[in-house]
Chain A
Amino acid sequence: MENSIFLAAIDIHTTPVKQSSYKTAVMQSLIALDIFKEEDIMSKKLSIQEIILTLQQFWSKQGCMLMQSYDTEKGAGTMSPYTFLRAIGPEPWNVAYVEPSRRPADGRYGKNPNRLYQHHQFQVIMKPSPANIQDLYLDSLAALGIDSKEHDIRFVEDNWENPSMGCAGVGWEVWLDGMEITQFTYFQQVGGLEVWPVAAEVTYGLERLSSYIQDVQSVFDLEWADGVKYGDIFLQPEYEQSKYSFEESNQDMLLKAFDEYEAEAKKQIANGLVHPAYDYILKCSHTFNLLDARGAVSVTERAGYLARIRNMAKSVAKVFVAERKKLGYPLIKDEKLRAKLLEEDN
């Protein structure tokens, strides 16, 4: 697929690849690449890493770049700069990546079968949103062996919002036989800015989806790779991170850290250094989440902290657009359009 947004002429008669043939195509390419053996696909349930590989393979074929997880703590895949920043501004952006997402308050010491301090999202961003994005998504399920004819798949309204980052979008949660497996969003506002063009975000909850595919009750029983269970890898960190977040974290240190991260973020926003500034905003957000889990933020302060994060997110969004413009919107390949957009006022 071309990267230029303006080639993404939204033609409704774009014929989606037929699901069944697609499924075979993906599987065959995986077999050809020696990722799966044919007999595996017929009999065995996909491990988490096979699910990730399948999704990566699928979305890269749709023109998505495969990014890697971003190295700063964050609460959701949306907060990766590969989504938050790149969803803003006129440049096209098609990516897929796995994002470990930390939510300290959701930690349950590894004792709850479905609630985690850290879970994994498989994130897809396509900007501008292609006309057949829903079909592509359904094809990706087919690639995972989920045939839509054999199940009940629904797109149920769920408009997404992250007020602390100035984000809002319109979309659905996708139900597979009654289970929510994906969040599907057309971004409308990011960092307080109306977005144009609009990106479609597809977020698979990997643990949920894998629990369905592998038919297990507890995420800790999921098979990550051959012979290694999710619990073997994550039970200990789940316990420790929960213990830390709820009982052991140094509140004074965290309170001080928040202030210092904030000061640094603001300074780098003023310097026009978008990415260092954004890293510190992410750190503020995670630090706040830790404080919140600890019950260390008084009720009156809570709204104040969220407003501080939101203000920074809004500032950095503006600076990002300005900086991309200074660079000449390099991801826009259509020269005429690029020239036109560069002439426009922000």
Chain B
Amino acid sequence: MKHTFLLEIGLEEIPAHVVTPSVKQLASRMEDFLNESRLSFDEIQTFSTPRRLAVKVLGLADKQPDIKEEAKGPAKKIAVDDQGNWSKAAQGFSRGQGVDPDQIYFKEFKGTEYAYVEKSILGKSATEVLKDVDQVIIAMRFPTMMRWSTNEFEFVRPIRWIACLLDDEVIPVQILKIKADRISAGHRFLGQDVSLANANGYPASLLDQMVVADACKRKKMIRSQIHEIAHKNEWQIVIDEDLLEEVNNLVEYPTVFAGSFDEQYLSLPDEVLITSMKDHQRFFYVLDSNGKMLPYFVSVRNGNDQYLKNVVVGNEKVLTARLEDARFFYEEDQKTPISASVERLKNVMFHDKIGTIYAKMQRVTEISTFLGKKVGLSADELQDLKRAAQIYKFDIVTEMVGEFAELQGVMGEIYARLFGENENTAAAIKESYMPLGSESELPQTNVGAVLSIADKIDSIQSFFAASMLPSGSNDPYALRRQALGIVRIALAKKWKLSVIDLANAIDSAYQTEQNLYENTQPDQNQVEWQEFIMGRVHQLLVDQGYAYDIVNTVVATKDNTFQQIFAAANVLTKHQSDLEFKQNIEALTRTVRLARKGQADVQPEVKVDLFENNSEKALHTAVVAVSKGYGDKDLEEKYVALTSLRQPISNYFDETMVMVDDESVKNNRLTQLDAIARLTYSFGALDNLNVK
């Protein structure tokens, strides 16, 4: 007979963003527990609200299967005495295993014969096994754990009840002083405690107490109520999935309602309205059919529609107060010119160990000018870039950003435009923060893209130089995301930028403004931050599905631009299946290895008069031919050119001994090989390729 098992943990309100991951964690720990306990089941269902995490196991086996287990005892020569009788050791062993000595048999183990017995172990009943299910709860971990009352025990929030039922029977587990029972709590305000007759009755019996325990069902209810309101009013309601998820985990019984605000606030920028509604009040905003903002909002109440008017009026009042604040800030901010805000940034720290934001903007001005020239921005663009770099953080000290920190950059763009900055400069302010996530939108304008790269590389270099390196999962300043951002922007813009170019940009800034690097000397941890950026390139290549050996090959050189690195990975991947791939690469890597070994002896140029055989001459001629215009070729052409050297290289090694006693001849040969090796560096370190 199969059973149903229910475990519900009742809690004080769990943080909304923790609810879903926590119930998944509970389910996976339950699954592990059952598997380790050898108790089979058909399915585990999850239920979650702000006040409860629950799992229901369906088709649970009656008991563990009986098993036979083999136990190993003493070696045969110890188990049996000279007369062929069981020794004391053997008797002790069998007694210990609860079987008769006659059941002992012998088996070889690592070359020696040992005594063994086979025991039957009867499977424990599900009831018995589940008595340890408290371990599942105790093992749970959360981003923030807390203690309460007089306990040392930590959990996400205080546990207030536990319902633990195998069919209709309570499994008597206990956490702290809380004994599991069949009682679950109803809705905090609209329901009452409910006594669960049977695990199967969950969660239906909670519905009577105004709790929709199935998170998916709750979400569907919200979605359909939103659609209904939108349809009735001919509104467009943008359902932000993250917001819906959060709101869903703030309610046990959802009722969607709409409210309004005074039309006068529509004069505020949409971003301000949206932030006020979404981030501060968890409201959905409302558009008309043309996508224009309407003075309404939609929100979700934790309860039914009784007294809904109070809730609507209360929420309208709170939103109005926020919008009134926002309007006040918007008007006040327009009274402070950008120059005055920039001046104030001399007193705002970027980081205590690095310096002020003002100093950062000065560094970024130099860095971005260098990079802007490098990637070929027009004179006008360079001028806009300079202006943007000098002011791009000014909105940090505005009242609006002080109140709505998430509007940093967004307000900068809006205010810059109001203060008459040109379109490029204004847009670059907002774009300097992009991309906001590892897959988020990139800056569009050239000016914004350069400013964004310059800002990010300055942050990375500063934190590294001030010895604040990210480690493991600890990356409080999101430097990984910023490094990835640099690479993504450079690739999208098809700009010829390498890590070395970034280092040169910093060096150039340092040469002009040494005082700005007082706490962040460029020589501090320089190699480390360059490796860190290459690490992101590596990650991006792996994520895009390139083979590990190819990735390790192409990221080995920091001189190559990000674009070249990706193109090299492409070309190598394309040719990997060629018939001659192995031979081509082996010929080239042989030269690379020898050249690397003899690096110290490499001469400025190959001397033809030191050649001793024809293969040397032939190789030299071929290399000279390949080298001509090599720099202007794309990577596919370079690959073809390089592989054309295979035969000459092969002949060369057949006929030529490189490491000869005559120093000048040896050095000349190493110089020849080095010339080839240098050509291969367009692809990184070819000897990392796996051609075995």
Contact = CB atoms under 8 A, between A and B. Distances in A.
B12 interface: yes
A152 B356 contact: no
B158 to A, nearest CB: 8
A198 B149 contact: yes
A178 B189 contact: no
A178 B318 contact: yes
A204 interface: no
Interface in B2-19: 10, 12-13, 15-18
Interface in A53-75: none
Given A114-B321, A128-B150, A302-B349, A152 B314 contact: yes
Contacts of B15: 157
B253 to A, nearest CB: 11
A188 B314 contact: no
A10 B174 CA distance: 13
B114 interface: no
A172 B13 contact: yes
A178 B299 contact: yes
B302 A154 contact: yes
A151 B352 contact: no
A129 interface: yes
Contacts of A128: 148-150
Contacts of A299: 347-349, 356
A163 to B, nearest CB: 13
A9 B301 CA distance: 34
Contacts of A114: 321, 325
A12 B160 contact: yes
A212 B178 CA distance: 37
B311 interface: yes
Interface in A132-146: 134, 138
A148 B35 CA distance: 44
In this complex, the member of B12, B148, B178 whose beta carbon has the largest number of chain A beta carbons within 10 angstroms is B148
A112 B328 CA distance: 10
Interface string A106-131: 00000011100000000000001111
Interface string B293-318: 00000010111001100110111011
A134 B12 contact: yes
A114 B158 CA distance: 34
Given A178-B314, A295-B347, A303-B352, A10 B176 contact: yes
Contact of A300 (B150, B250, B302, B352): B352
A179 B150 contact: no
A319 interface: no
Contacts of A10: 149-151, 176-178
Interface string B144-171: 1011111110000110110000000000
A8 interface: yes
A11 B179 CA distance: 9
In this complex, the member of A9, A150, A176, A303 whose beta carbon has the largest number of chain B beta carbons within 10 angstroms is A150
Contacts of A129: 148-149, 158
B195 interface: no
Contact of B301 (A131, A152, A186, A198): A152
Nearest to B315: A178
A170 interface: yes
A170 B144 contact: yes
A100 interface: no
B135 interface: no
In this complex, the member of A10, A11, A156 whose beta carbon has the largest number of chain B beta carbons within 10 angstroms is A10
A170 B11 CA distance: 14
Interface residues of B, number: 50
Contacts of A113: 321
Category for how many chain A residues contact B: 35 or more
A247 B567 CA distance: 62
Contacts of A178: 281, 299, 311, 314-315, 318-319
Interface string B58-79: 0000000000000000000000
B217 interface: no
B190 interface: yes
Nearest to B178: A12
B150 A6 contact: yes
A238 B188 CA distance: 40
A73 to B, nearest CB: 24
Interface string B605-639: 00000000000000000000000000000000000
Contacts of A149: 189-190, 303, 306-307
B16 A8 contact: no
In this complex, the member of A9, A148, A157, A295 whose beta carbon has the largest number of chain B beta carbons within 10 angstroms is A157
A131 B160 contact: yes
Interface string B316-347: 01110100010010000000000000000001
A12 B146 contact: no
Contact of A131 (B149, B319, B321, B349): B149
Ranked nearest first, the 6 interchain pairs of A and B with the lowest CB-CB distance are A177-B314, A157-B15, A155-B13, A178-B315, A170-B146, A150-B307
Interface of B: 10, 12-13, 15-18, 50, 144, 146-152, 157-158, 160-161, 176-178, 188-190, 250, 281, 299, 301-303, 306-307, 310-311, 313-315, 317-319, 321, 325, 328, 347-349, 352, 356
19 contacts: A10-B151, A112-B328, A114-B321, A128-B149, A129-B148, A148-B189, A156-B250, A157-B15, A157-B17, A157-B18, A172-B13, A186-B146, A186-B147, A186-B158, A188-B146, A217-B321, A299-B349, A300-B349, A303-B349
Interface of A: 5-6, 8-12, 112-114, 128-131, 134, 138, 148-157, 159, 170, 172, 176-179, 186, 188, 196-198, 200, 212, 217, 295, 298-300, 302-303
